[in-house]
Amino acid sequence: MRRIKAIVYGVGAMNSVATRMMLEKGVDIVGALARSPQKVGRDLGEVAGLGFPTGVVVEDDPERVLSSRQADIAVIAVASYMSDMYEHLRRCAEHGVNAVTISEEALYPWNTAPMETAELDRLARQNGVTITGTGHQDVYWVNLVSMVLATAHRIETVTGRASWNVDDFGPEVAKDQRVDTTVDDFDTWLAEADRPPSFGRNTLGALVEDLGLTTVAVESTTRPEIAQEPVRSESLELTVDTGRVIGFTDVDTVKTHQGITLTFEMTGRLYLPGEADINDWTVTGEPELHLSNPAVPTGVTTCTQLVNRIPDVINAPPGFITMEKLPRPRYRTYPLGMYVHERKRFLRRGPLS
Amino acid sequence: MRRIKAIVYGVGAMNSVATRMMLEKGVDIVGALARSPQKVGRDLGEVAGLGFPTGVVVEDDPERVLSSRQADIAVIAVASYMSDMYEHLRRCAEHGVNAVTISEEALYPWNTAPMETAELDRLARQNGVTITGTGHQDVYWVNLVSMVLATAHRIETVTGRASWNVDDFGPEVAKDQRVDTTVDDFDTWLAEADRPPSFGRNTLGALVEDLGLTTVAVESTTRPEIAQEPVRSESLELTVDTGRVIGFTDVDTVKTHQGITLTFEMTGRLYLPGEADINDWTVTGEPELHLSNPAVPTGVTTCTQLVNRIPDVINAPPGFITMEKLPRPRYRTYPLGMYVHERKRFLRRGPLS
């Protein structure tokens, strides 16, 4: 076991928290990358709001940082979709650096971005490194659910419901989520919108793969969430009247050859006072099963998974290895150590200390 | 992969359900064992209430059944404590038959029955077989909890609460659980009772082991549960008056060198109308985390775990392998297949088909 050397790739809200967690867990930060001129050139501790300097300067040249630091892993929090992530992940693979990301689509991108994923898988294998998507959804939408399903004798349906508060992410996200539009305007937007597949597709894809099932049909629908009483939006600085839109819910359904139907409902809307993020799953069959994580702190658990998964990703065989193929998630005590898989050590192109 | 050959060891309520589940999952039942003259000599399907004959006759000679059926595994549901289980598990090991049991203490018996466990571990290794305790607690009290803990950055306390309805287990259990005694009588009984460690000790032992912690101190207390209103007991055919005992709660606490305190509260009492078994866990630290399994069907999930764990136990390395060391629990589709670990195949004394 030796200390892990990590590059902080993207210094936004999530990676600022992850940076503190990594330092507290004994990870050596050997580089930091950002694009914003307001961040580049400053100490990572300052940019991440840690209250102390880290001695690591935020840089803007990924090629140079990835090629010069002998890092074990890049910890990436820059974008949600594979179309935006491809270049970042390709760079890591080509420089022989493992990559872990909270990109939502990267959780299980084989069904929604198969070409990019296959090419990244090939590059990763060629360079002896692993690429994995993780985050809150790794445990709460896939691995915990899979473990509850492990106590079923026979599954008929699996139905998950999760929510997030649009007010937590600023006015742009609130507008994207159609807050304060009319239902008619929402319906017009929805009919014309060219939206990418929801992340529910990736979640259900991972569950189907994990259960050893095969997909017959996929269906996705979206419904507006409507104010039943006036609802305050702090990010938009207005109150949404009764009957107007406070967000929407994406519903993804997968039917399988084995007769099991999986559904995931993801709601992003304004919360009423006292509401919190939910994670509720119901399984029908024998027996009926329920899982609930009241007041689940989605943002924090996204950061903890990004950090706690680091040893699993470093130690995994090379390729685009989705999280349901990694060892089960575990609590990590200080220090967050690593060893390198012998085959990987052999395959890896870059120097190893 | 080939079909699994199992011996049903004990034909009571739990193994009757497990027998049906095994048959539905394609397991070959090659023997059945019971002691009661009302069961011995009859077809297993009849004794287990399956509604059809299985062609397997219930026998009463474990040595003969274990030595003659070339079984892969014995599925044991006969007793809760290691003192009662020792002979059954020893026999299985000596005849080269893997064993899986829902004995509660066998979940993690290293802390409460270290001598018996070490001896069984030695015998199992010598004979190339695995012994594992599982049941509801495998997933709901250990593995699910461990997975929620995997999303913590820093743990301070882990507190679990579970309950069972004493009325589900007949009048003897209700009396053992002190139903309808006065609080004074309860206190007198508690002061004099020579009770074995509660199963909370085994649950917490498994969690401590799984988290990689070390125990400093263990504390166990018991408190009466008192009727806040008149409560009906169907098993005792009486109504318990307000202020009298309706059961009790065992509270086990483990303090660790690492500063993390784990507590498990197990309540067995009469339920009020509408109440169901609970499984609620709270984690403090960063962040605060919650897990809840509303209306958890403890009896059924005990049987599903007993069956779904079979391939893990057969494929595990030899020894007394507690469940937190097995692969993560998984849903099992038909057929429940197996392969045999090469080292184990080499070590195993008995014949292999």
A9, part of any domain = yes
Cα distances (angstroms) measured from residue B198 to each of A23, A182, A319, B210, B219: 40, 59, 46, 19, 11
Query: Which residue among A21, A151, A154 sits closest to B301, beta carbon to beta carbon?
Result: A151
Six-digit token string for A108:
């299980």
Buried b (16+ CB within 10 A) or exposed e, B82-94: beebbebbbbbbb
Pick from B13, B262, B62: which is nearest to B156 by CA? B262
For residue A208, what are its two tokens?
Answer: 């189907």
Does the pLDDT of residue B238 top 50, yes or no? yes
Q: What are B191's two structure tokens? A: 């002061």
- Interface mutation target, options A102, A151, A312, chain B, most CBs of B under 10 Å: A151
| Nearest residue of B to residue A22, measured between CA atoms | B153
Domain check: are A235 and A89 in the same one?
no
- Strand A238-240 vs strand B73-76: parallel, antiparallel, or unpaired? unpaired
Pairs of residues, one from chain A and one from chain B, whose beta carbons lie less than 8 Å apart? 135
Cross-chain Cβ contact A152/B303 below 8 Å:
no
Average pLDDT of chain A to the nearest whole number: 94
Looking at residue B335, its pLDDT comes to 87
The answer to whether residues B126 and B226 belong to one domain is: no
A334 compared with B116, residue with greater pLDDT = B116
Report ipTM for this prediction: 0.94
Do the beta carbons of residue B122 and residue B97 sit within 8 Å? no
- What is the tens place of the pLDDT at every residue in A182-207? 999 999 999 999 999 999 999 999 99
Q: Do the chains contact at B304 and A295, CB–CB below 8 Å?
A: no
Residue with tokens 């670990």: B341
User: For A79-92, what is each residue's pLDDT tens digit?
Assistant: 999 999 999 999 99
Q: Residues A218-258: pLDDT tens digits? A: 999 999 999 999 999 999 999 999 999 999 999 999 999 99
Asked if residue A349 has pLDDT above 50, the reply is no
Q: Which of B21, B146, B153 sits opposite A304 (nearest CB)?
A: B153
Strand duo A238-240 + A231-233: pairing:
antiparallel
Q: Which residue has the tokens 């519903």?
A: A251
B219 and B266, same structural domain?
yes
Q: Under the phi-then-psi rule, with left for phi > 0, alpha for psi from -120 to 50, and beta for the rest, what region is B201?
A: alpha
Output the pLDDT for position B338.
Answer: 67
Token pair recorded at residue B247: 């059961």
Structural domain includes residue B304: no
Task: Report the greatest alpha carbon distance in chain A.
Answer: 63
Q: What is the rounded CA–CA span in Å between residue A204 and residue A260?
A: 12
Same domain, yes or no: B144 and B286: yes
**CA–CA separation, A291 vs A287, rounded Å?**
13
State pLDDT tens for residues A31-73.
999 999 999 999 999 999 999 999 999 999 999 999 999 999 9
> Within this chain, do residues A161 and A245 fall inside the same structural domain, yes or no?
yes
Map residue A43 onto helix, strand or coil: strand
Start-end of H helices in chain A: 13-24, 44-47, 62-68, 82-94, 114-127, 136-137, 144-149, 170-176, 183-192, 199-211, 298-308, 310-315, 342-347
pLDDT of residue A94: 97
In the predicted model, is pLDDT for residue A315 greater than 70? yes
CATH code of A340's domain: 3.40.50.720
- Could you tell me if residue A109 is inside a domain? yes
- Kindly state whether residue A353 falls inside one of the protein's structural domains: no
Cβ separation B150–A331 shorter than 8 A: yes
Chain A residue with Cα closest to B259: A333
Å between A65 CA and nearest CA of chain B = 27
> Which residues sit opposite B245 in a β-bridge?
B226
Angle at CA of residue B296, ends B240 and B105, nearest 5°: 85
Over 90: is that where the pLDDT of B224 sits? yes
Q: Which residues of A touch B296 (CB under 8 A)?
A: 289-290
Are residues A163 and A266 part of one domain? yes
One domain, residues B290 and B144: yes
The pLDDT of residue A351 is: 42
pTM of the entire predicted model: 0.94
Total count of domains within chain A: 2
Chain B nearest CA to A35, separation (Å): 28
Residue B353 has pLDDT above 90, yes or no: no
B18 and B92 both lie in a single domain: yes
Which residue carries 């079909």 as its tokens? B3
Residue B73 lies in a domain: yes
Instruction: Assess whether pLDDT exceeds 50 at residue A145.
Output: yes
Residues A162, A271, single domain; the answer is: yes
Report the residue from A150, A213, A329 with minimal CB separation from B308: A150
Within 8 A of B146 by CB-CB distance, chain A residues are 328, 330-331
Give the residue on A whose Cα is nearest the Cα of B211. Answer: A331
Q: Which residues of A touch B211 (CB under 8 A)?
A: 331, 333
Please report which helix (H) or strand (E) contains residue B223, including its range.
Answer: strand B215-226
Q: Mean of the per-residue pLDDT values for chain B?
A: 94
- Determine the average pLDDT of the residues in B52-66: 98
Q: Are residues A102 and A9 in the same domain?
A: yes
Residues A152 and A179 in one domain: yes
A301 assigned to some structural domain: no
Domain extent for A212 = 137-296
What pLDDT was estimated at residue A300? 96
Is residue A304, in this structure, part of any structural domain at all?
Answer: no
> What CATH number does the domain containing A185 carry?
3.30.360
Best of A153, A277, A324 to disrupt the B interface (most B CBs within 10 Å) is A153
**Residue A164: closest CA among A264, A78, A281, A279:** A279
A303 belongs to a structural domain: no
At A343, the pLDDT band (50, 70, 90 cuts) reads low
Nearest chain B residue (CA) to A17: B153
- Contacts A282 to B, Cβ<8 Å: none
Mutate to test the interface with A, among B151, B288, B307 (most CBs of A within 10 A): B151
The per-residue pLDDT for A335 is 87
> Residue A21: which of B153, B258, B288 has the nearest Cβ?
B153
| pLDDT at A352 (0 to 100) | 41
Domain co-membership, B275 together with B162: yes
